[in-house]
């Protein structure tokens, strides 16, 4: 029986507004190189991936200075107005290359601390499973509260959320090429702007596996996250 090939789609077309930086966060310096290049180096170094689709803003003036701008293993695709549109554009860039049952791993470029060991765990979980896919996730460690916004701008506790089996969804999120593409097309056709790939499959009543991954696979989102990512990426950490 043939082994399904695997592709990676890397949404990298965001503006990083929450980062409040002078450039999109994927192009901020981290240990002397683009944050993005740490992510791409990890993915390019993982031999299961046939090729990477990097989804970039059409106005992106920084990509040309990436260490991997000329890498033949990278296919470029245009970003969209939201992450889900960018991911779909990335999938469509594979339409002449990927087979329906090939795996596609979608990984945020803003998560530079991904380890190959987590990728091994993710693909290991996909062996001999009836699940439609698998995502890296991290169990919540804190007591979780649901807040309510008051007219004066304060937020008060509405109630404590039962946190047993409550997980932070991370990336990569891995699904079959055709099923993920069709699920995203369905969601966007119905104005369901999902924030991750698993949500699109859930809208089609398909459930993925949660594979526990490292909590240091953080998404650099706010200013304080950059220093933390730098610490996690320090050799030997």
Ligand X SMILES: C[C@](O)(CO)[C@H](O)COP(=O)(O)O
Ligand Y SMILES: Nc1ccn([C@@H]2O[C@H](COP(=O)(O)OP(=O)(O)OP(=O)(O)O)[C@@H](O)[C@H]2O)c(=O)n1
Q: Does 108 bind ligand X (CB under 6 A)?
A: yes
80 sits near ligand Y (criterion: CB under 6 A): yes
* 166 φ/ψ sector (left φ>0, alpha ψ -120 to 50, else beta): beta
Is 133 one of the binding residues for ligand Y (CB under 6 A)?
A: no
C-beta of 137: minimal distance to ligand X in Å? Answer: 9
Question: Hey, what are 173's tokens?
Answer: 């999120």
- Residue 195's binding partner among ligand Y, ligand X, none (Cβ under 5 to 8 angstroms by kind) is ligand X
Q: What is the largest CA-CA distance in the chain?
A: 63
**Binding status of residue 23 toward ligand Y by CB under 6 A:** no
DSSP label at residue 237: -
Tokens 């999902």 belong to 194
Q: Out of 169, 209, 228, 233, which residue is the one contacting ligand X (CB under 6 A)? A: 169
Are the C-beta atoms of 159 and 146 separated by less than 8 Å? yes
Check residue 66 for interaction with ligand Y (CB under 6 A): no
Among 41, 82, 202, 212, binds ligand Y (CB under 6 A): 82
Tokens in use for 92? 């469509």
**Residue 20 CB contacts under 8 Å (≥ 6 apart), including other chains:** 223
CA-based Rg of the chain, rounded to a whole angstrom? Answer: 18
- According to the binding rule CB under 6 A, does residue 78 interact with ligand Y? no
CB of 165 to ligand X, least distance (A): 17
Place of tokens 């990927």: 98
Part in contact with ligand X (CB under 6 A); list of ranges 26-34, 35-43, 144-152, 164-172? 164-172
Q: Does 107 bind ligand X (CB under 6 A)?
A: no
Alpha-carbon gap, residue 35 to 220, rounded angstroms: 9
Total site size for ligand X, rule CB under 6 A: 8
- The verdict on 83 binding ligand X (CB under 6 A) reads yes
Q: Which stretch binds ligand Y (CB under 6 A): 8-16, 66-74, 131-139, 178-186?
A: 8-16
Q: DSSP readout, 126-147? A: TTT--SSEEEEEEE--S-EEEE
Using CB under 6 A, which residues numbered 189 to 208 contact ligand X? 195-196
- Please list, in sequence order, all residues whose beta carbon lies within 8 angstroms of the beta carbon of residue 229, skipping any fewer than 6 positions away: 30, 35, 112, 113, 218, 220
The helix/strand count (H/E) of the chain reads as 6, 11
User: In the complex, what is the shortest distance from the CB of residue 202 to ligand Y, in angstroms, rounded to a whole number?
Assistant: 19
Does 35 interact with ligand Y (rule: CB under 6 A)? no
In angstroms, the CA 40 to CA 12 distance is 11
Give the nearer residue to ligand X in terms of CB position, either 97 or 192: 192
Residues that bind ligand Y in the complex, under the rule CB under 6 A: 11-18, 26, 55, 79-83, 86, 108-110, 219, 221
Residues that bind ligand X in the complex, under the rule CB under 6 A: 83, 108, 169-171, 195-196, 219
């Amino acid at each position: 029986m043939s082994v399904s090939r695997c592709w990676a789609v890397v949404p990298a077309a965001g503006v990083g507004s929450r980062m409040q930086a002078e450039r999109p966060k994927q192009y901020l310096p981290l240990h002397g190189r683009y944050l993005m290049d740490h992510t791409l180096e990890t993915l390019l170094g993982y031999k299961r991936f046939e090729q990477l689709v990097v989804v970039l803003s059409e106005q992106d003036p920084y990509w040309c200075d990436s260490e991997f701008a000329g890498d033949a293993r990278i296919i470029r695709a245009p970003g969209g107005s939201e992450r889900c549109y960018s991911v779909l554009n990335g999938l469509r860039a594979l339409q002449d290359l990927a087979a329906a049952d090939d795996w596609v791993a979608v990984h945020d470029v803003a998560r530079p601390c991904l380890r190959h060991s987590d990728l091994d765990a993710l693909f290991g979980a996909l062996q001999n499973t009836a699940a439609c896919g698998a995502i890296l996730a991290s169990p919540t460690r804190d007591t979780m509260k649901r807040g309510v916004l008051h007219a004066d701008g304060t937020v008060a506790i509405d109630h404590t959320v039962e946190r047993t089996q409550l997980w932070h969804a991370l990336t990569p999120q891995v699904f079959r090429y055709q099923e993920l593409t069709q699920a995203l097309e369905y969601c966007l056709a119905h104005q369901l702007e999902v924030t991750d790939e698993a949500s699109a499959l859930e809208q089609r009543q398909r459930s993925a596996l949660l594979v526990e991954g490292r909590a240091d696979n953080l998404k650099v989102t706010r200013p304080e996250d950059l220093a933390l990512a730098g610490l996690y990426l320090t050799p030997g950490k």
